[in-house]
Amino acid sequence: MWMEFSLSLPPMTWGRHRLDWGRQTYVMGIVNVTPDSFSGDGISPADVSREDVVKRAVEQARSFVAQGARFIDVGGESTRPGFPEVSARDEAERVVPVIEALHAELPADVIISVDTSKAEVAEKALAAGADMLNDIWGLQKDSLVASVARAYGVPVILMANMRGFERRELISDITRFLAHSLDMALKAGIPWEHLIIDPGIGFGMGLEGDLLMLHRLGELRALGRPILLGTSRKSVIGKVLGGLPVEERVEGTAATVALGIAQGADIVRVHDVREMMRVVKMSDAVVRGTFALD
């Protein structure tokens, strides 16, 4: 049922890019340009020179693309609870040189997204060559992000964030949050076809809430937009599997990716692109009936 619905969504087109929903699951590779990423994979000037940061980020992105990633998501601020917020200036100084290099060196069909909730950072990243915005507050922290997206004509990923949000019933809470974000985007003039939703696994739902959202992910199809799922290496996996550290959560991530695709996920955001690309291909063969024999 969900696959038929996904196939009914029109393609998303902008600039040189086109995404055909329902025909395949797209993979987004994560490039963290921060010293305090929860996943332990951050690249930062705290460890090496700024030039080496850019070089390492480009090498990582190239590897992800070679392994099958269509998106590269660049982030310059840790989103873990309890970590101080990075200033817009510092965040931009981290991500802009990396985005400029990726824009110059990656194949033209690769989509570069910037993971930020700050309009100032979003504007500088898009001017540097980013193709898309990924806002973990769904435009509800800095509403000017919507204006920046509209000005540049790029899509936006709207994530539900339950941190500090008054809770009643989880699925309806997330649905209401995302519906409000969608309304904000539309009022700002962003086209309906340029919007993607993300349930926000790991952002204020707790262990049981994360599991419930994964179990009922398909219900978000009622909002009529493609779904991005970001479960890679997250704490829910570590907790369910007995306290596993982030570097040992690959199999757990694979389970959530496969189950997410069965529920209707259109994009999966991951750290381990090679392994998850194999999961995606196998899942798509079963769920979508799409596969190619070499």
Catalytic residues: 234, 269
Helices 144-152 and 170-187 cross at an angle (nearest 10°) of 50
Task: Tell me the CB-side half-sphere exposure of residue 258, using CA atoms within 13 A.
Answer: 14
Task: Please state the separation of Cα 124 from the chain's center in Å.
Answer: 19
Query: How far apart are alpha carbons 60 and 193 in whole angstroms?
Result: 30
List, in order, residues 6 or more apart from 116 with CB less than 8 Å away. 75, 76, 77, 91, 95, 122, 125, 133, 134, 135, 145
Query: How far apart are alpha carbons 161 and 139 in whole angstroms?
Result: 11
- The residue among 189, 208, 176, 83 whose CA lies nearest residue 145 is 189
| Contact by Cβ (8 Å): 101, 58 | yes
Query: How far apart are alpha carbons 223 and 158 in whole angstroms?
Result: 12
